[in-house]
């Protein structure tokens, strides 16, 4: 039986010339692969990839000389978005506050207070080893479920959604805390089952039932928008854990069918969809007026806006303008330049977090950081799509900018977790060991003695015995 040759005779001398190094003819394969790689790098996509890698290498440094630029990009963009949010909340809420007989600074002061608390917890979490948070995964999930049940029992309903619990003069939204708790819990569970995730039943249990309970409790409060974000968070956790893609296809079909059923069974949601497509509702009302006036605000802003504090749409044309439609006020008062600045800040934040996610080798770190990235950027994308008329109106706030203490506090805490991972990539000499004047424990870098190591070093190692005395050495 004669086999058909797979290599040309011209390639044989290259193999014979160095038979000891590779008798199987692999050098010829490498030689043929090199031109293919060179041609791929010569393509526009290859040049863009090469430029991207060179840019980040020059910006971050390499190896142990990383300068922490990713850490400061995340921190700077987050603080900038938060500052813009406080400023725009003051501008957008002052008119309605005066009309209600309140101080025009009331909403902005509350937002600033929650921002200060959130920045404090963000900085504290940035100094905490993320592995230490695993012990809070299950308690945080159960606490989130209990709070969501309490919302249904003693919560306050506003604009058809029952999402808030009154705590003295403030209100708390447990569904925002449930996002971070669910992300932490899913990262912990998927990390423990890393070797079994090739099987669908292990990938979906218990992550699937846990997420379904959270989503069901949120939907019981008639908040479809937040439930959609939790669905995206769940899909992101499974994706970064490496679950097979056909699972997402099946889950997508199920979720699409469930969302369609929920939309059809609610007259309010059907009316919103009809208004979004340009039709009128059965009762003749137009519930899309909020989005329509938001587009008017964006259009009237022009290139540079009508001026900070000079919005016309906030005079009750856009109800609750400082909440979900604050992006329209930004476009009206600061113009296209202001909206582009916000978009660039979110792009910087997303790119920097992606750099942190891509550098993680541990599944727990990768799933947690990736889920937070998709949560914040996905929520921002949906909010902007609603304001610009690309999606039907759903109640989703713009992260860091929309009014809401619970959302801002949880978003800043989530950024603190990512900052902890980004800080671990910095050069050891740049990792500050003090926070607010307090000394913090050092990160252990040695092999086998890290925070997540299974074989930590003993607390009291046995003292080493001194070397035996050697008289011959002394005589020499």
pLDDT-above-70 percentage for the chain: 74
Confidence (pLDDT) at 251: 80
Confidence (pLDDT) at 290: 76
Q: Is-contact 181 145, C-beta < 8 A?
A: no
* Summary count for the chain: helices (H), strands (E): 17, 5
Question: pLDDT digit string (tens) for 329-346?
Answer: 999 999 999 999 999 999
Q: Which long-range contacts (CB under 8 A, 24 or more apart) does 252-256 make?
A: 255/231
Dihedral sign, Cα of residue 52, residue 54, residue 58, residue 62: positive
Residue 157: helix, strand or coil by DSSP? strand
Nearest to 391 by CA among 403, 402, 383, 379: 383
Range 102-124 average pLDDT: 93
Residues contacting 320, CB < 8 A, separation 6+: 159
Check whether 267 has a pLDDT greater than 90.
no
Give the C-alpha separation, 32 to 21, whole Å: 17
Please report which confidence band the pLDDT of residue 44 belongs to, taking 50, 70 and 90 as the band edges. confident
Check whether 141 has a pLDDT greater than 90.
yes
Confidence (pLDDT) at 4: 41
Confidence (pLDDT) at 19: 45
- For tokens 């980040």, what's the residue? 56
In the structure encoding, which two tokens stand for residue 156, read together?
């306050």
Range 439-456 average pLDDT: 44
Check whether 152 has a pLDDT greater than 60.
yes
Please report which confidence band the pLDDT of residue 103 belongs to, taking 50, 70 and 90 as the band edges. confident
Terminal Cα-to-Cα distance of the chain (whole angstroms): 76
Please tell me the chain's helix, strand, coil percentages from 3-state DSSP, rounded to the nearest 5: 65, 5, 30
Confidence (pLDDT) at 15: 44
Residue 225: helix, strand or coil by DSSP? helix
How many other C-beta atoms are found inside a 10 Å radius of the C-beta of residue 8?
8
pLDDT-above-90 percentage for the chain: 37
Give the C-alpha separation, 357 to 399, whole Å: 20
Best-predicted range by mean pLDDT among 29-43, 62-76, 164-178, 396-410? 396-410
How many other C-beta atoms are found inside a 10 Å radius of the C-beta of residue 269?
19
Check whether 361 has a pLDDT greater than 60.
yes
In the structure encoding, which two tokens stand for residue 352, read together?
């920097």
Check whether 377 has a pLDDT greater than 60.
yes
Q: Is-contact 369 421, C-beta < 8 A?
A: yes
Q: Say which range, 18-22, 162-166, 300-304, 415-419, has the weakest mean pLDDT.
A: 18-22
Check whether 286 has a pLDDT greater than 70.
no
Please report which confidence band the pLDDT of residue 248 belongs to, taking 50, 70 and 90 as the band edges. confident
- What kind and span of H or E run contains 188? helix 174-192
What is the rounded average pLDDT for all residues in the chain? 79
Classify 132 in phi/psi space as left (phi over 0), alpha (psi -120 to 50) or beta: alpha
Q: Is-contact 205 167, C-beta < 8 A?
A: no
Confidence (pLDDT) at 425: 76
Residue 327: helix, strand or coil by DSSP? helix
Range 193-199 average pLDDT: 85
Range 382-408 average pLDDT: 89
Check whether 419 has a pLDDT greater than 50.
yes
Confidence (pLDDT) at 24: 47
In the structure encoding, which two tokens stand for residue 445, read together?
């870098």
Check whether 412 has a pLDDT greater than 50.
yes
Residues contacting 471, CB < 8 A, separation 6+: none
Check whether 7 has a pLDDT greater than 90.
no
Classify 279 in phi/psi space as left (phi over 0), alpha (psi -120 to 50) or beta: beta
In the structure encoding, which two tokens stand for residue 379, read together?
């929520």
Question: pLDDT digit string (tens) for 198-230?
Answer: 888 888 889 989 999 999 999 888 888 899 899
In the structure encoding, which two tokens stand for residue 349, read together?
């934040």
Classify 242 in phi/psi space as left (phi over 0), alpha (psi -120 to 50) or beta: left
Check whether 451 has a pLDDT greater than 60.
no
Q: Say which range, 92-96, 284-288, 346-350, has the weakest mean pLDDT.
A: 284-288
Confidence (pLDDT) at 164: 83
Confidence (pLDDT) at 179: 95
Check whether 75 has a pLDDT greater than 70.
yes
pTM of the model: 0.78
Confidence (pLDDT) at 454: 45
Residues contacting 94, CB < 8 A, separation 6+: 104, 105, 108, 309
Range 379-388 average pLDDT: 92
How many other C-beta atoms are found inside a 10 Å radius of the C-beta of residue 340?
12
Residue 162: helix, strand or coil by DSSP? strand
């Amino acid at each position: 039986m004669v086999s058909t040759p797979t290599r040309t005779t011209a390639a044989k001398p290259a193999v014979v010339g160095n038979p000891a190094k590779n008798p199987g003819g692999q050098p010829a394969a490498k030689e043929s692969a090199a031109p293919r790689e060179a041609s791929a790098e010569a393509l526009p996509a290859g040049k863009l990839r090469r430029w991207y890698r060179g840019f980040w290498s020059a910006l971050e440094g390499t190896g142990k000389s990383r300068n922490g630029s990713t850490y400061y990009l995340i921190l700077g963009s987050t603080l900038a978005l938060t500052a813009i949010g406080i400023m725009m909340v003051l501008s957008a809420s002052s008119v309605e506050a005066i009309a209600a007989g309140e101080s025009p600074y009331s909403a902005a002061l509350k937002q600033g207070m929650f921002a200060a608390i959130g920045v404090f917890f963000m900085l504290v979490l940035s100094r905490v080893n993320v592995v230490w948070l695993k012990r809070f995964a299950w308690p945080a999930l159960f606490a989130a479920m209990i709070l969501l049940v309490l919302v249904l029992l003693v919560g306050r309903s506003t604009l058809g959604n029952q999402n808030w619990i009154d705590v003295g003069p403030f209100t708390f939204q447990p569904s925002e805390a449930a996002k971070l708790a669910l992300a932490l819990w899913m990262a912990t569970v998927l990390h423990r089952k890393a070797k079994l995730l090739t099987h669908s039943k292990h990938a979906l249990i218990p992550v699937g039932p846990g997420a379904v309970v959270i989503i069901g409790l949120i939907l019981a409060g008639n908040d479809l928008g937040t439930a959609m974000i939790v669905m995206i968070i769940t899909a992101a956790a499974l994706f970064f854990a490496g679950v097979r893609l056909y699972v997402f296809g099946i889950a997508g079909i199920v979720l699409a069918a469930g969302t369609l059923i929920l939309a059809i069974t609610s007259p309010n949601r059907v009316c919103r969809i009809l208004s979004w497509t340009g039709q009128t509702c059965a009762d003749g009302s137009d519930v899309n007026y909020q989005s329509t006036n938001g587009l008017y605000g964006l259009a009237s802003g022009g290139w540079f806006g009508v001026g900070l504090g000079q919005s016309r749409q906030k005079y009750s044309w856009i109800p609750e303008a400082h909440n979900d439609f604050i992006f329209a006020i930004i476009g009206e008062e600061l113009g296209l330049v202001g909206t582009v600045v916000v978009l660039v800040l979110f792009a910087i934040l997303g790119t920097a977090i992606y750099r942190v996610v891509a550098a993680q080798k541990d599944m727990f770190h990768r799933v947690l950081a990736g889920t937070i990235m998709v949560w914040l950027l996905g929520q921002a994308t949906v909010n902007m799509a609603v304001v610009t008329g690309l999606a039907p109106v759903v109640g989703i706030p713009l992260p860091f900018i929309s009014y809401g203490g619970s959302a801002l506090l949880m978003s800043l805490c989530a950024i603190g977790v990512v900052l902890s991972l980004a800080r671990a990539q910095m050069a050891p000499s740049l990792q500050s060991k003090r926070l607010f004047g307090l000394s913090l424990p050092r990160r252990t870098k040695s092999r086998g003695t890290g925070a997540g190591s299974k074989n930590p070093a003993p607390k009291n190692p046995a003292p080493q015995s001194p070397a035996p005395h050697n008289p011959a050495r002394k005589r020499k």
